Structure 1
Amino acid sequence: MNILFHFRTQGTGAEGVHIAGMAGAFRRLGHSVVFSSPSSIDPSATAGENPFLPRQRSLLARLAAHAPAVLFELLEIAYNALAGVRLGALLRREHFDLIYERHAFFLCITAFLAQRHRVPLVVEVNELAGDERVRADPWLLPLARLADRFTFQRARLIVVVSPHLQRRIEAMGIRKEKILVLPNAIDEETLHVLPDGTSIRRRYQCESAVVVGFAGWFVPWHRLDVLVAEFAALAPGKAELRLMLVGDGTLRVNLEAQASALGIRDRLILPGAVPHAEMPDYLAAMDICVIPHSNAYRSPIKLFEYMAGARAIVAPCTEPIALVLRDGENGLLFDPSNDGALRIQLAALVDSPAFRSRLGQQAREDVCQKHTWTQNARELLLRLG
């Protein structure tokens, strides 16, 4: 098939990893992919890049950060006209067998064009208005929901990353049979060789340490302050413990100040943002990989990267994560509403290398067998018939 892949994002960070992963999977299955986006980039080249670098931020991204909310939402609505011209030209010039779109608020022109040109539409949904999110709920929320319903009614298939999103879309009157739950995944090309963190541990002089780690962006919704506090409470009497936070973001200075105030700054390792291709080696340098916080609808991509590295994982017991991790078998889950629960699970792993190894090996086996982008692409195409 010839697939038109439309997205309205920067194509960096985790979203870029997701887009590049699905596009690569379609291609491995023998299909061709044409990207269409406001930035005209190929996420295969930008996936995982630092979205906080000013030189990489698009005009739309800068407006998102600084424009009044209503103005930004009006620009999102106006984007339908721009996308309509671009997508319409592509559909007239070239034959496409499928349109695959990453859902965005107020975006509905693709559904209109897919119906007009009689091309099946698959919509991938990662969030919906009304749930906890980075930006506040839209001021023009009724319009956002109207656009969602218009799009979902015309889609051949809706792919969601969590059962929560499935239930939300069903509540709009969309048939359950049109919705497919597919958690995020990993690029199978990265699974051929198990990464080695020896050189990273040597670089940061933690060869004999037990390294608790996190990889991602230093932003409020990841609740890294909780991880730092729980690590500090666990650290007394355990001189071998280190905390490695790989990434960058607006909260880096705050995290350093917090670590200093808690007396663990000398145990904190901050490599900064690293190229996505090097991330497996940094994860391999960690003995325990942590997701401090998630929510009811997100399927964290870092979870699958942790699993691919055969790491012992500690994560909150949200519904999307519990679809993938089985407590005590391929990871440890904790109740994020219970103070100290994260620390208890960390303690269970710090003192047991054999337990860490068993969890990590099972996690890697599970991600290889069940959670690759190619498996996801194959399943959605089978559902399409």
Structure 2
Amino acid sequence: MSAGQSTAMPQREGEPVRVLHVLDHSLPVQSGYAFRSEAVCIAQKRRGWEPIVVTSPKHYESWRGEWNQSEEIGGIRYYRARTVSSPALPLLGEVRLMAALARRLSSVIHAESPHVLHPHSPVLNAIPALLMGRRWGIPVIYEMRSSWEDAAVDRGSYAATSWKYKVSRSLETWVCSKADRVVVICEGLKRDLVGRGIPQERIVVVPNGVDVERFQPRPGDADVWKRLGLQGKKVVSFMGSFFRWEGLDLLIDAVAKLARVRSDVALLLVGGGEMEAALKDKIRLLGIEQHVVMPGWIPQADTLGLYPLIDVLAFPRYSTHLTERVTPLKPLEAMAMGKAVIASDVGGHRELVRHQETGLLFEAGNAAALAEALAAVFDSTQLRTRLEHNGLNWVARERSWAKTTESYREAYRLGVSRAIVKQFEVKEERS
């Protein structure tokens, strides 16, 4: 079969548009990546499209459960690629992973006859999708959610001057140049790709969004609050993965400053990750154990009962190549829950937070400035109420998944046939 030869089944009249998403991992793993993937598939299904998912062999590195050939979660079909061994030789493991994913993709394409292949970061998903797209004659829309090589640098996995970084970045750029269209989640990533020579007219921004039916103001779970010992406290919280770039050590410093002058301040850190042990050591060193609660990971459904009892959510990210270009999801969820948000002034946050309107921005890396912002929200009901009201309204108006995922129609329109585009438009008119 020659490259570009179309063997995919043609679309029949009235048939839903099938989009085959290729993911690093998915539910039941709980992560920002998995939650965005779930939200995108649900939003597309509501539009009358038919999203289908294939996950990389890396899914089971996170899930660590028994391998399933396929399963259905929330009405979405998930196909799983088998795990592969991790040899010691450089790059051999990545080659094996991509080969296994390509084989799984080929079998799923044969079974499902998708009209669009939609691989999401990292590039290890995109390369097999490009190969299968060319083989089966299916357009490929690549979604770059983050700069994974920059994340690796921020984690300390390798240096920005290393060969691994250079290879990863070069492959990412190559994939973006070969895909029919590129989707990014924010303007920062778009500017980065344009700087690498990718024409901006080939890039479509589909921002992070929120399920406004799930994330909305509600009564709090007073029993959980009592068990955590937080009743009567002024509470600042962070919920998510404890990565280095999140700046949680800075947040601990800010809380320690406040704790010297007020006894009612408390920090709730929900989650875990690579910085967990170091953060606990820092809390002990500063002697503020009575001001910090770390319950570990809590299922997302259960965290919804915590939000209403929190005074402010803090996102103190440090300024790095990654955080200046990539927007996080958690601040949007906090705003959708009607909570005040304080965030560092890195580029990714400035796309989400308008200072003194939808939240407060402080100088990245400045613990004193963060402590000052926290005190302002704690001490002014008027300020906190204004931030909560404005943030909630902005998210409901601009960042529901129903609104942000409208841009996928543009991305697919630019990369697929006229017949399929017409079907998109018909489905949109009916929805």
- TM bucket normalised to smaller: 0.7 to 0.9
- Conserved in 1, the CA contact under 8 Å of 2:123 and 2:175? no
Which one of 387, 391, 398 corresponds to residue 359 of structure 1?
387
Which one of 178, 181, 187 corresponds to residue 211 of structure 2?
187
Aligned AA (2:141): V
- TM-score (normalised: structure 2): 0.78
CA deviations on 1:273-309 (whole Å, 9 max, x unpaired) are 1111112222222101001215112211111111111
Matching residue of 1:374: 402
Change (3 A) 1:142 1:305: same
Aligned AA (1:111): L
Q: What does 1:170-185 align with in structure 2 at a 5 Å threshold? A: 170-185=194-209
How far, CA to CA, are the matches of 1:91 and 1:250 in structure 2?
Answer: 37
Secondary structure of the residue aligned to 2:353 is coil
Matching residue of 1:14: 32
Change (3 A) 1:43 1:266: farther
Matching residue of 1:293: 317
Q: What does 1:244-283 align with in structure 2 at a 5 Å threshold? A: 244-283=268-307
Offset of residue 206 of structure 1: 2.5
CA deviations on 1:323-366 (whole Å, 9 max, x unpaired) are 11100001001111445221121121111122112101211111
- Conserved in 2, the CA contact under 8 Å of 1:161 and 1:297? no
Which one of 302, 305, 309 corresponds to residue 333 of structure 2?
305
CA deviations on 1:83-135 (whole Å, 9 max, x unpaired) are 22111222223221222211213441211322332322221112236535333
Matching residue of 2:144: 125
Change (3 A) 1:25 1:248: same
Once the two structures are overlaid, the 10-residue window that deviates more, 27-36 or 2-11, is 2-11
- Conserved in 2, the CA contact under 8 Å of 1:16 and 1:44? no
Offset of residue 369 of structure 1: 1.3
Change (3 A) 1:337 1:229: closer
How far, CA to CA, are the matches of 1:182 and 1:191 in structure 2?
Answer: 19
Matching residue of 1:51: none
- Conserved in 2, the CA contact under 8 Å of 1:290 and 1:315? yes
Matching residue of 2:10: none
Secondary structure of the residue aligned to 1:212 is strand
Once the two structures are overlaid, the 10-residue window that deviates more, 249-258 or 214-223, is 249-258
Offset of residue 221 of structure 1: 2.7
Matching residue of 2:183: 159
Offset of residue 44 of structure 1: 5.2
Aligned residues: 367
How far, CA to CA, are the matches of 1:80 and 1:261 in structure 2?
Answer: 45
Once the two structures are overlaid, the 10-residue window that deviates more, 183-192 or 276-285, is 183-192
Offset of residue 145 of structure 1: 4.1
Matching residue of 1:26: 44
Change (3 A) 1:252 1:342: same
How far, CA to CA, are the matches of 1:82 and 1:145 in structure 2?
Answer: 23
Unaligned runs of 5+ in 1: 46-57
How far, CA to CA, are the matches of 1:229 and 1:201 in structure 2?
Answer: 24
Change (3 A) 1:100 1:189: farther
- Conserved in 2, the CA contact under 8 Å of 1:17 and 1:43? no
Once the two structures are overlaid, the 10-residue window that deviates more, 308-317 or 190-199, is 190-199
1:5 equivalent to 2:21? Answer: yes
- Conserved in 1, the CA contact under 8 Å of 2:307 and 2:334? yes
- Conserved in 1, the CA contact under 8 Å of 2:315 and 2:342? yes
Once the two structures are overlaid, the 10-residue window that deviates more, 143-152 or 157-166, is 143-152
Aligned AA (1:128): S
Once the two structures are overlaid, the 10-residue window that deviates more, 289-298 or 328-337, is 289-298
Secondary structure of the residue aligned to 2:357 is coil
Which one of 80, 91, 109 corresponds to residue 128 of structure 2?
109
Secondary structure of the residue aligned to 2:317 is coil
- Conserved in 2, the CA contact under 8 Å of 1:161 and 1:320? no
- Conserved in 1, the CA contact under 8 Å of 2:217 and 2:308? no
Once the two structures are overlaid, the 10-residue window that deviates more, 125-134 or 310-319, is 125-134
- TM-score (normalised: structure 1): 0.86
How far, CA to CA, are the matches of 2:306 and 2:267 in structure 1?
Answer: 12
1:96 equivalent to 2:122? Answer: no
Which one of 35, 40, 43 corresponds to residue 53 of structure 2?
35
Matching residue of 2:13: none
Structure number, greater radius of gyration: 2
Change (3 A) 1:182 1:197: farther
- Conserved in 1, the CA contact under 8 Å of 2:149 and 2:168? no
Matching residue of 2:263: 239
Offset of residue 316 of structure 1: 1.0
Q: What does 1:6-85 align with in structure 2 at a 5 Å threshold? A: 6-9=22-25, 11=27, 12=29, 13-37=31-55, 38=57, 39=59, 71=90, 73-85=91-103
Change (3 A) 1:198 1:353: farther
